[in-house]
Amino acid sequence: MAKKPALRRFFFAPTMGQALGQPTSLHTRYPRIHFVCTRKTGTMMKTPSHVHLAAFGLCAALSLSGCARKPEGKKPGPPPAMITVTQAESRDVPVIERSIGEADSATAPKIGAEVAGRITRVLVDIGDAVKKGQLLAEIDATDYAADAKRLEAQAVAQQKLTERYRELSRKGFVSSSKQEEVEAQNTSTREQYTRGAKNLARTRIVSPVDGRVDSRFVSVGDWIDLGKPVFQLSTSENLRIRLPFPESVAQRIRVGQAVTLSTPTAPDATVTGKIKQVRPMVGSTNRAFDAVVEVKNPGGWKPGASVNGAVIVEEHAGAVTVPEVSVVLRPAGKVVYLIENGKAVQHVVTTGVIQNGQVEILQGLKAGATVAVDGAGFLTDKATVSVKETNGKKGAQK
């Protein structure tokens, strides 16, 4: 019997998808496809059905199609930053030195006793308002009244004696030297009486000015010597303002400079004055010197109250300014963002005076340039921006 031709068997397992990196769920659904090839003819026989072969073809097609990568689309960038803008302006910028000082009364008399004695009445106290000539206190006047009465009697008697001697002198009964002696005694007696009358009046202590009682140094029953203080008064009609400045600005503060003054006790009243005096001494504790300004009280200002002073030391004409929020700090330094063709362009600047919400730009920016205001702190160089409408105008800022 002739031998049957040897058969070669080829097994194609559905693991092609695994090799291609595709899921194997489809492949595992189908059995392996068994191909047989005769050695003589080289023909291949399908031992399963045609359906199995078709299934294998479908599986391979699905595996190959899954290997193809989808083209990646362009990633969208961040949305434009919403900002407002303004134009850099050219204006005159005053350079101001500020200080907080104190208001003192330009007239603050300390009333002392003009005669010695015991205090019998005190009619005012600290904080009381007083008028010129108003009685403040009294000293015991008993002895002074008696002395004044005695001196008055002596003066009257001496006056009568002098008149008699004048009559006798005209008739030639007394010498001229005697007449001169009597006249001198009369003058002395009158002066003593005048002094005694004044001392009696001085037992009544009165106010020399309109003002207010700042201090009281005596009480009823106290003995007070001649010249000792009784009251400290102050008047608010004329004020002396002392403004301390650091020694570093000593060369910039000069007599005659204009000063704008305000005080919390009368916030609606602003006074303009001039520096009358610059104290030469620098304090050893605060390293400051005082500039003195004298002004009339506009009403409501109180001695002892704090005073805010602003001295204009110089003025920068035609300075470029932008809002303070437009200047932001970056690694490169202080920058502003110019808005050009919908982009924020970073410009490094050098700043100067800051006042009233405006910053002086010394270098790096020209007047008229459009700069970011609100939102500037969130920008980066070349960032896309969208200008916000404000008050009907696109990004308008004042």
CATH assignment of the domain containing 287:
2.40.30.170
**Residue type (1 letter), 298:** P
Rounded Cα gap, residues 15 and 36, in angstroms: 20
Task: Give the integer Cα–Cα distance in Å for 98 and 67.
Answer: 77
Q: Which residues pair with 292 in a beta bridge?
A: 242, 277
Count of domains for the chain: 4
Structure confidence at residue 302 as a pLDDT band (50, 70, 90): confident
Residue 394's pLDDT is 53
pLDDT at 38: 44
Which CATH number does the domain housing residue 386 bear?
Answer: 2.40.420.20
pLDDT value for 76: 65
Statement to judge: residues 218 and 282 lie in one domain: no
Domain end position, chosen among 298, 315, 332: 315
What is the rounded average pLDDT for all residues in the chain? Answer: 81
Does pLDDT of 87 surpass 80?
Answer: yes
In this structure, is residue 72 part of a structural domain?
no
> Is the model's pLDDT at 141 over the cut of 90?
yes
Final residue of a structural domain among 211, 229, 247: 229
Q: Which residue has the higher pLDDT, 280 or 152?
A: 152
Report the 10 Å Cβ neighbour count for 70: 5
357 is in which domain, residue-wise?
82-91+318-394
Convert the pLDDT of each residue in 335-369 to its tens digit.
999 999 999 999 999 999 898 899 999 999 999 99
Q: What is the CA radius of gyration of the chain?
A: 54
Residue 1 falls within a domain, yes or no? no
Q: Report CA-CA distances (Å) from 230 to 115, 203, 213.
A: 12, 12, 11
Q: Does 76 reside within a domain?
A: no
From residue 75, alpha-carbon distances to 72, 78, 208 in Å are 9, 10, 89
Residues 131 and 187 grouped into a single domain: yes
Is residue 123 located within the same domain as residue 201?
Answer: yes
Per-range mean pLDDT, top range of 9-18, 144-153, 231-240, 302-311: 144-153
Q: Are residues 137 and 224 in the same domain?
A: yes
Rounded Cα distance between 128 and 135, Å, is 12
Q: Looking at the structure, do residues 30 and 134 belong to the same domain, yes or no?
A: no
Confidence at residue 313, expressed as pLDDT on a 0 to 100 scale = 87
User: Region 161-171: what's the mean pLDDT?
Assistant: 89
Q: What is the pLDDT of residues 3-35, one digit of tens each?
A: 555 444 444 444 444 444 444 444 444 444 444
Q: 94, 312 in Cβ contact below 8 A? A: yes
Establish if 299 belongs to a structural domain: yes
- Alpha-carbon span 124 to 220, nearest angstrom: 12
SS3 readout for 22-91:
CCCCCHHHCCCEEEEEECCCCCEEECCCHHHHHHHHHHHHHHHHHHCCCCCCCCCCCCCEEECEEECEEE
Measured N-to-C along each axis, helices 142-171 and 176-202 cross at an angle, to the nearest 10 degrees, of: 160
Chain position carrying tokens 């489809």: 26
* 342 and 308 fall within a common domain: no
Asked if 213 and 236 sit in the same domain, the reply is no
Asked if 242 and 289 sit in the same domain, the reply is yes
For residue 245, pLDDT over 60 is answered with yes
The answer to the question of residue 201 being in a domain is: yes
Does residue 75 lie in a domain region? no
Which range (74-83, 212-221, 336-345) has the least confidence?
Answer: 74-83
pLDDT at 321 over 60: yes
The count of residues in the chain is 398
Q: Quote the tokens at residue 71.
A: 């083209």
Cα–Cα separations (whole angstroms), residue 228 to 116, 122, 153: 9, 15, 32
- 89 pLDDT band, cuts 50/70/90, is very high
Give the pLDDT confidence score for residue 26 in this predicted structure. Answer: 42
Domain final position from 315, 347, 382: 315
- How much is the average pLDDT of 82-91? 92
pLDDT confidence tier of residue 392, bands split at 50, 70 and 90: very low
Share of the chain above pLDDT 90, in %: 49
329 with 345, same domain: the answer is yes
In a domain, 148, yes or no: yes
Query: Are 306 and 367 members of one domain?
Result: no
Is the Cβ–Cβ distance between 349 and 385 less than 8 Å? no
Residue 263 has pLDDT above 50, yes or no: yes
- The DSSP code sequence of 216-263 is E---TT-EE-TT-EEEEEEEEEEEEEEEEEEGGGTTT--TT-EEEEEE
In angstroms, the CA 378 to CA 81 distance is: 8
pLDDT, tens digit (0-9, with 9 covering 90-100), for 35-72: 444 444 444 444 445 545 555 555 555 454 555 555 55
* pLDDT score at 145: 94
- In this predicted structure, the answer to whether residue 323 has a pLDDT above a threshold of 90 is yes
pTM of the model: 0.52
pLDDT of 224 over the 90 cut: yes
Computed from CA positions of residues 220, 224, 226, 230, in that sequence, does the dihedral angle turn out positive or negative? negative
Torsion sign across C-alpha atoms 308, 314, 317, 321? negative
Q: Considering the domain boundaries, does residue 74 fall inside one?
A: no
- 134 lies in the same domain as 146: yes
Q: Are residues 211 and 140 in the same domain?
A: yes
